[in-house]
Structure 1
Amino acid sequence: MAPKEAKPPKDSGNTVSTPQQDDSLSWMPQGLRDMGLSTFLIVMAAITSRISQLSLAPVYGSIPSSVNHQAAIAASALIGWTTQWYWRPSGGAPVQYLPIWAACAPALTCLSFQFSDSLGLVWGPVVGEFLSCHSLVIPLVYAAAASYDGPDVKQTSSGPLAHLFSSVPSLGLFLALDWMMPEVVSKFIATWSFLNPFNAHLIVALYLALMLTERRAIAVATISIATVLALASPYGNSPISTTILNNTLNSQDWTLLARQWSNTGYLSVLENTNANYRVMRCDHSLLGGEWQLTAQRRNQGWKISESIYAAFHMLEAVRLMDVEPQIPDSEAQALIIGLGIGTAPKAFIEHGINTTIVELDPVVHQLATDYFSLPNKHTPVLTDAIAWVHSQAHPSLPEEDSDGSNATPDPIQVPEIKQYDYIIHDVFTGGAEPLPLFTASFLASLRSLLKPNGVAALNYAGDLTLPLTAKVLNTIDRAFDGHCALYRDSAPPKSSSPSEPVDTFANYIVFCRNALGPVTFRQPTAADFLDSISRRQHLYPRPEFAVEFPLRGKEGAEKEVLRDEEVGEWKREQEESAKRHWGIMRVVMPGRIWGMY
């Protein structure tokens, strides 16, 4: 009797969309190939998570965009992970189309930015993050978990319990990578000038088309969509993208002069062609701006471009503080922590003061030079201010030779600390001041860089009634042994009725002395104004702008200082401050301009 014809096994239906295995990899065990594909998908999901955060930051601010991100991304991963236990369509057709969605998602996300005013800081980030992140992470984690069932699970069981234990590594890997990716992706985008989050999204889509689909039509469609968007979307960085962006901005009386992603986020220089002023933008905040010197303004008596913010000129008043002996400008040394557009540094340089500028972002320094006339006659230190200040305040002793002897002849010379006559501390990021630059340890190191009769000016924006603002100002005051005075950059607003609350949010300037004595200022001369009309109005701190330190003289004030280990405890107040700043920025520039980055 002839043997019966062998029949192929029936498809159990527990398959997932994975690319056809390359014949060149036939030597590799199937389990190892599945593990490699699963790992690739998890890496793409973690990269997508970080790219999404970078995409939202210019429109909603980096801090508001990150609220609840970790919880939401973990929930998305769990949804994708658990779905694959119960749903495995034959052929896995839905996942085949994921590359096309990945190519379209960034454009739809950017479209949602045009409704950021109406969506607000609650629904805006939710909608944007769903489009750019969660709608991709869920299917990616699903496909990764389904692809990696372990080397022998497919042959032994297809039950939920087996899938549960076999796919645990994919979920754990994703959560670990999502925790590590922010710094990696940010540095990568900052290193390559042709990259930005929008293009990075498209690159992810291209990789998915290469690895996830076996259909040529889907791959061609993904490549076509990604190419068109990279070239023509205003959120790309091709010459065509910039032209399209400026055509849109010009209708709103704005022009983009320069833009680049860097280690602090998205940076750009914009000019209002109607009111003739120029600003530098960092994500959803302004680092400064200038009224441009036009022919009409020359006829009105202007001689230079003028700052749009009074606080920057008030910081320059540190040079007017009464000290003994007075330091001639030609002999003075100044240290500036935080550059912005360089209003105060430019004034110091023009006065002939030897000026050192510490700025974290080299692109900020470049834009200040190219578009805000920052003179080259200064010492730039383009690094993290925290590490630099601590290293300058506590220089290391000479290293020992291999035999244990000192590299320098006895007696050992302790490295000398370079000290300054003036220090200006003006830092800002993400819609809130970076708290590590206001801790007691940092301020102590900063004070040690002052000469015995040196003076300092520190800028802090906040609400005077909030505990965090009170604590930061008290930390500054205690760091200088109470030799400080506190000023607003404008007159306190008055309520029109007893029931109407008074806005207590403002820029606060703290002037401090290193030596014992009251904080007083000499009267400025014509030379101090540097031909600036704005300096004549704002340089000298007005007595009516002075305010009391909230905690000075109160019991236990010496303990109310910000310590390094406490910075994370103030996350919630930092979030509230950033949200409030977001609303203020929307008054300075319309939402449509913030959305068209």
Structure 2
Amino acid sequence: MNSPAGQKLPYWWLYCTVFLTGASVMVIELLGTRLIAPFYGASLYVWASLISVTMIALAIGYYAGGHWADHAKRTGLALIIALAGLLTLLIPWMTAPVLLATDSLGLQMGTFTSTLILFTPSLIMLGMVGPFAVKLATDSLSGVGASTGSIYAVSTVGSVVGTLLLGFYLFPRIGSREIFVGVGLGLFVLATLVAFFERKHISLRYSLIPVILLALPGVMLSPGGLSPSNAANLPANAVGHAAQPYQVRFERESLYGWVRVLDNSVANMRLLMADASTIGAASISHGENLMTYQKIVELIPRLAPGIERALLIGQGAGHMATDLLQFGITTDTIEIDPAVAEAAQNYFDFKPTGNHIIGDARYEIRKLQGSYDLIILDVFTGGAEPVHLLTEETLQQIDDLLSKRGILALNFVSFLDTGENIALASVGKTLAQVFMHQLIFISELGVDFNDFIFIASQHPLRIEDEQLSRTQQAWLESRLLTIDNSRGLILTDNFNPLEALQTRKSEHYRQLIVETVGTSQFVR
């Protein structure tokens, strides 16, 4: 990289530029999940859409950047970076209207289309930086290979650093909107510095003036980008409506989702939500649990007398652990999201009765010491599926923690489809690989979309027990279900298509939640 006069040019600034823009690409890509997930859920479709859109945008950027670099006379890197900054600052403003506009497209196309609209423009501009930098760093054909390799290597290192910085430091401390605004403003600062350094190639007035002109609206956009989108100002037919208004009592953005507590004083209902999933519901007046399926689980101590120690995987609002205490049962709880744990204690009066563990269940159960008389696996809500917690291998780990008379209770949300739902059959078939006996209960009678409670153990299970009243026995018997497991698949760590099998469930559940609390509760 020598000048015609044989003197070294200070190209260190060029490497700093591609390093920082490479980091910006990954920050925008990863932050995209936190803007899309509250509306469409944190599913595989969100990640697939973001990765695909990033690749599409970078490919377009590489191509366009190369042509621009070959033909540009009075524009350079500074303008490209400034445009990227402005387009990044527009993302928080555009999120609400774009998500609402794509809502009718369904889960898969809605996720992809909204991601394409929101993130493609800024990522295209950032993709253009690499080819332009190669052009500036190359003085002769003999050095083009080394220049290209160096530029893209430094950009990739920047992407790695940006990913680690966001995941390990920024996101646990700063909200996603604040980070978006910080990246946008940072790109304007970088563009100003680049305009100064590339003055050897482009007159400063041609490079700096466009940056300033773009920075002015960018700075004006910044304060609005720090606040959640006001969906209430959109047309009523665009946001939908809830039967009754909900008030936000608690809101926290965590590493795992957007956690909120919503109150409906008219209906006397308090909801605990993570992104677009309801993971707890109680009456405001008395704190009474309103989840019917949990009432089935709470009858297990009467089905299997002698339970002393339990484990609840997926604490949620903590009602089941609280209700088990009336039987003298100490319950350890595992909850992946510290924001959910905080909301449960402050708004649902949850008080741990055993060990209170914050972490991913698949990792944490490896460290636990059995034996438990009852393990409740309650993580398969209507929203995203943590499929790694429903495999033959996971169930085997759970069985290893159970006592000889231990019982597993697993809640699963799905359609019944007259007993022919493959996802539901797959749960039963996978459980049968580990447990010799199982009972299946349906939560709400006469409803196709439902909570299904699987009770599994290594010993026979009966609901005819003297500790159950006739009313309780009749109530359980009316919900007893038989499913043909032969239609199902055995879910393993190697092969687990559960999320794909549950696509219709996710779309239907999301529509039910929107009808309940209103679309405006899911746009930010």
TM over 0.5: yes
1:547 aligns with 2:477: no
Deviations 1:270-294 (A, max 9, x none): 111322211111111111211222x
Deviations 1:22-50 (A, max 9, x none): xxxxx994333212211211110121111
Runs of 5+ consecutive residues of structure 1 not aligned to the other structure: 1-8, 10-26, 237-248, 294-303, 393-416, 494-502, 527-535
Larger helix proportion of the pair: 2
Q: Is the 8 A contact 2:23 2:160 kept in 1?
A: no
Separation in structure 2 between the aligned mates of residue 570 and residue 169 of structure 1, nearest angstrom: 42
Counterpart check, 1:522 vs 2:469:
no
Query: RMSD over aligned Cα, in angstroms?
Result: 3.5
- Taking structure 1 as the reference length, the TM-score comes to 0.72
Partner in structure 2 of residue 594 of structure 1: 522
Deviations 1:482-522 (A, max 9, x none): x11111112244xxxxxxxxx4x4211011233x3233253
How has the CA–CA distance of structure 1 residues 105 and 162 changed in structure 2, closer, same or farther, with 3 Å as cutoff?
A: farther
Q: Deviation at 1:305?
A: 2.8
1:229 — aligned with what?
225
Contact 1:141 1:170 in 2 (8 A): no
Match of 1:38 in 2: 18
| Alignment pair present for 1:456 and 2:450 | no
- Contact 1:107/1:229 (8 A) holds in 2: yes
- How many residues in Structure 1 have an aligned counterpart in Structure 2? 484
* 1:561 corresponds to: 490
- 1:306 corresponds in structure 2 to 288
Q: Take 1:182 and 1:32, find their aligned partners in 2: how far apart are those partners?
A: 22
1:417-470 Cα distance to aligned partner (Å, 9 max, x none): 431222111113682432211111211121121221222211112245343332
8 A Cα contact 2:29 2:54, kept in partner:
yes
Structure 1 residues 273, 173: CA separation in 2 closer, same or farther (over 3 Å shift)? farther
1:62-77 → structure 2 map (5 Å cutoff): 62-63=42-43, 64-77=45-58
Distance 1:369 1:191 in 2: 21
| Aligned-partner Cα distance in 2 for 1:30–1:538 | 81
Equivalent residue, structure 2, for 1:128: 114
SS in 2 for 1:427: strand
Q: Distance in 2 between matches of 1:80 and 1:129?
A: 17
Matched, 1:572 2:515: no
Is contact 1:333-1:353 (8 Å) kept?
Answer: yes
Q: Summarize the alignment of residues 6-21 of structure 1 with structure 2, pairs less than 5 Å apart.
A: none
- Corresponding residue for residue 266 of structure 2: 274
Which residue does 2:510 correspond to in 1?
A: 582
Which runs of structure 2 are paired with 1:149-548 in the superposition (5 Å)? 149=135, 151=137, 153=138, 155-156=139-140, 167=148, 185-188=166-169, 190-192=171-173, 195-213=174-192, 214=208, 215-216=211-212, 218-219=214-215, 221-230=217-226, 233-235=227-229, 253-293=245-285, 304-322=286-304, 326-327=305-306, 332-392=308-368, 417-428=369-380, 431-464=383-416, 465-481=420-436, 483-493=437-447, 503=448, 505-514=449-458, 516-522=459-465, 542-548=476-482
For 1:541-563, what per-residue CA distance to the aligned partner results, in whole angstroms no more than 9, with x for missing partners? 522322223226x9xx8xx5322
DSSP-derived class of the 1:561 partner: coil
For 2:424 and 2:150, how far apart are their aligned partners in 1? Answer: 44
In the TM superposition, what is the alpha-carbon distance from 1:173 to its structure 2 partner? 7.0
Shift in alpha-carbon separation, 1:312–1:196, aligned structure 2, 3 A:
same
Q: Taking structure 2 as the reference length, what is the TM-score of the superposition? A: 0.82
Distance verdict in 2 for CA 1:143–1:276, change over 3 Å = same
Matches within 5 A, 1:61-100: 61-63=41-43, 64-88=45-69, 89=72, 90-92=74-76, 93=79, 95-100=81-86
Cα 1:162–1:81 change in 2 (3 A) is farther
Residue 140 of structure 1: how far off its partner (Å): 0.8
Distance 1:167 1:540 in 2: 74
Three-state SS of the structure 2 residue aligned to 1:98 is helix
* C-alpha distance in 2 between matches for 1:539 and 1:222: 65
In 2, Cα distance between equivalents of 1:578 and 1:250: 19
Distance 1:75 1:228, change over 3 A: closer
Would you say the 8 A contact 1:262–1:363 is kept in 2? yes
Query: What are the Cα deviations for residues 324-368 of structure 1, in whole angstroms up to 9, with x where unaligned?
Result: xx32x7xx1111111111121110124332111111112111110
Q: 1:162 to 1:277 in 2, by over 3 A?
A: farther
Letter in 1 for 2:16: G
Q: 2: distance between equivalents of 1:572 and 1:425?
A: 21
Which whole-Å CA distance do the structure 1 matches of 2:345 and 2:59 have between them?
Answer: 48
What is aligned with 2:91? 105
Change in CA separation of 1:210 and 1:128 when aligned onto 2, cut-off 3 Å: same
What CA distance in whole angstroms lies between the structure 1 residues aligned with 2:222 and 2:277? Answer: 30
